[in-house]
Amino acid sequence: MDEMNRRPVLLAVYPVAAMIALVPAIEVGAGSWPFQPGELSWRFGVGGLVLKTLVTPLLGILLAMLAGVALEHRRTVRTLATLCLLIAVGGVVVAAMFSMDFLQLRAMVDPRMRSQMTTAAGTALLMAALIIPSAAALGLAGWRATRREKTVVGARKSARADSVLVAPRLKENAT
């Protein structure tokens, strides 16, 4: 049976993965317009929106990374791994700022709305607790995947050389 040419399909994964990653980012940008970073309620809303929408871009990055590994595009995989690590660090920063904004805003909100606000904040922080380690793991895995295998082959060669050198010495001691 003839083997299929996977390369065209794998290359087509890149634009699909970009779409999966970029559409939520565009939606967050549009949903946060006009930018008002000095306003507490705006920061809280945008922070929650960012934390809740990071799953989909991470899936897009994963798809692109898998295609990059299959196509052996080391630079692409390493770039995506770096992006994942930046998402993890950014997620920590956004979650911390979001938590501080929540504590400030909660004191100002009508007591009848506090439970709904607490639920929304808890959901966003739960998403952050799931996304941040996932993004970090994906970033580290991407970096590990791009390591050259020559170091492993070199280690095997030196192990073989050691066994060749040790074996004659053992024979000499045995006689």
Contact 4, 69 (CB under 8 A): no
Prediction pTM value: 0.80
Cβ-Cβ contacts under 8 Å for 64 (sequence gap 6 or more)? 13, 14, 17, 18, 21, 76, 80
What's the confidence (pLDDT) of residue 175?
52
What's the confidence (pLDDT) of residue 148?
83
What's the confidence (pLDDT) of residue 165?
47
Ranges of residues in the chain whose predicted pLDDT is under 70: 1, 150-175
What's the confidence (pLDDT) of residue 136?
98
Contact 68, 31 (CB under 8 A): no
